[in-house]
């Protein structure tokens, strides 16, 4: 699944490629990602492999800054300069200025990915890096990736340092597209794929790994979203969202997918029985709305006309009219529709009663 996420989902791929392209062009960057970015290690390895394929001499190395207290410039000096070069350093220059003027150090052959930065450490590293970038005059230089999470807040802008922000590039649309890609080979009509993809996206709260697991459940997710969600969260060791939160997400999906189907049925119904409806015009609904054309009459009024015997329809059309009217009312009252009814609406939208 991670291959599909990082290589085929457009904006997730662009995020990864922008990291690769910027540092390959020797631009130091700050990347801001969610606290728990799914398939993070896989993304980092893809970046490493792509850089190796483009350039075999410069290596990507990682610095885990969690718990680190040493000033960033001093840390870089100690890690990426030989002892004799370290001995040349004098406090009359900043570490950034000194390192920028050293053409023959290991630093100049490295991409350095610094992760687990607190807000204070991010500010310290950014200060060092800004000084280094202002001072360096050669393309023989170290390239830095400072990685921070969203708790840091808005990123500072520094000359020569590019910011790449996950939430500005990847959103719910990408999660939904990921689900659709995973469902592309499911032997069901497209409306079923859309419904399950929308459920997986909405219930995963932008967590790509959970979205993938829910999409893989397919019909199980459609039939019992809450039970499926709890099952997949347990498998993945994720805390499940509150039941009311997931119920609201399911309702929003049903409103988005099923409500237009009820309108599709209404238009088909008024088209089929237009001549009968026209003879009854104008019609006034119980809440006062007046209908002057057959195509504008709502489901509740159509059902009322059938109940009075003023509109004669087939048994199957009457059964569906009752069902679609009931579905529309349930959704209008912020309630979710049972899968038995959902299934019938999806089959109608797919153009028949075949699975």
Model confidence over 233-278: pLDDT tens digits? Answer: 999 999 999 999 999 999 999 999 999 999 999 999 999 999 999 9
Span 21-30, pLDDT tens digits: 999 999 999 9
Say what the pLDDT of residue 55 is: 79
Say what the pLDDT of residue 127 is: 96
Say what the pLDDT of residue 352 is: 60
β-strands 110-115, 161-165 pairing = unpaired
Say what the pLDDT of residue 355 is: 34
Categorise residue 153: left if φ over 0, alpha if ψ from -120 to 50, beta otherwise. Answer: left
Say what the pLDDT of residue 354 is: 38
Q: What angle do CA 106, 111, 115 make, to 5 degrees?
A: 115
Q: Decide if 231 contacts 216 (C-beta within 8 A).
A: no
Span 185-205, pLDDT tens digits: 999 999 999 999 999 999 998
The residue assigned the tokens 């009217």 is 325
Say what the pLDDT of residue 57 is: 84
pTM score above 0.95: no
C-alpha of 215 from chain center: 14
Structure tokens at 98: 């000194």
Say what the pLDDT of residue 148 is: 97
Helices and strands (DSSP H and E) totals, the chain: 17, 7
User: Mind listing the domains of the chain with CATH numbers?
Assistant: 2-170 (3.40.50), 171-241 (no CATH), 259-355 (no CATH)
Q: What angle do CA 162, 168, 169 make, to 5 degrees?
A: 90
CA distances from 10 to 45, 51, 162, 189, 343 (A): 19, 20, 21, 24, 31
Query: Which positions ≥6 away from 107 have C-beta within 8 Å?
Result: 76, 80, 81, 99, 141, 142
* Distance of alpha carbon 291 from alpha carbon 300, whole angstroms: 12
Q: Decide if 29 contacts 164 (C-beta within 8 A).
A: yes
CA distances from 82 to 79, 91, 131 (A): 8, 18, 21
* Distance of alpha carbon 224 from alpha carbon 336, whole angstroms: 11
CA distances from 285 to 19, 152, 281 (A): 59, 56, 12
Q: Decide if 237 contacts 227 (C-beta within 8 A).
A: no
Residues of the chain with pLDDT under 70: 352-355
């Amino acid at each position: 699944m991670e291959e599909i996420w990082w290589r085929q989902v457009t904006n997730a791929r662009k995020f990864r490629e922008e990291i690769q392209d910027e540092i390959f062009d020797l631009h130091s960057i700050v990347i801001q990602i969610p606290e728990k970015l799914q398939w993070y290690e896989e993304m980092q390895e893809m970046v490493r492999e792509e850089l190796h394929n483009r350039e075999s001499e410069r290596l990507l190395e990682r610095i885990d800054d969690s718990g680190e207290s040493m000033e960033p410039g001093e840390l870089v000096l100690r890690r990426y300069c030989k002892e004799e070069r370290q001995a040349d350093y004098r406090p009359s220059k900043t570490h950034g200025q000194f390192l920028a003027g050293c053409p023959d150090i290991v630093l100049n052959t490295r991409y350095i990915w610094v992760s687990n930065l607190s807000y204070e450490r991010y500010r310290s590293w950014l200060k060092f890096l800004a000084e280094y970038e202002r001072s360096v005059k050669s393309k023989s230089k170290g390239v830095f990736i400072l990685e921070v999470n969203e708790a840091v807040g808005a990123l500072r802008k520094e000359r020569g340092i590019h910011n790449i922000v996950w939430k500005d590039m990847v959103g719910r649309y990408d999660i939904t597209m990921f689900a659709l890609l995973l469902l592309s080979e499911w032997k069901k009509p497209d409306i079923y794929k859309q419904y399950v993809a929308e459920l997986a996206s909405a219930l995963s709260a932008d967590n790509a790994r959970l979205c993938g697991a829910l999409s893989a459940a397919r019909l199980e997710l459609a039939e019992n979203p809450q039970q499926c969600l709890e099952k997949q969260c347990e498998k993945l060791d994720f805390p499940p969202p509150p039941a009311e939160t997931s119920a609201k997400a399911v309702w929003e999906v049903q409103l988005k997918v099923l409500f237009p189907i009820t309108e599709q049925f209404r238009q088909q119904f008024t088209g089929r029985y237009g001549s009968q409806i026209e003879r009854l015009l104008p019609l006034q609904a119980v809440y006062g709305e007046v209908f002057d054309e057959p195509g504008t009459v709502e489901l509740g009024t159509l059902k009322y006309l059938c109940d009075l015997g003023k509109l004669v329809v087939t048994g199957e059309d009457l059964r569906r009219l009752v069902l679609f009217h009931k579905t529309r009312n349930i959704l209008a009252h912020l309630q979710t529709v049972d899968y038995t009814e959902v299934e019938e609406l999806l089959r109608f939208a797919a153009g028949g009663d075949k699975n």
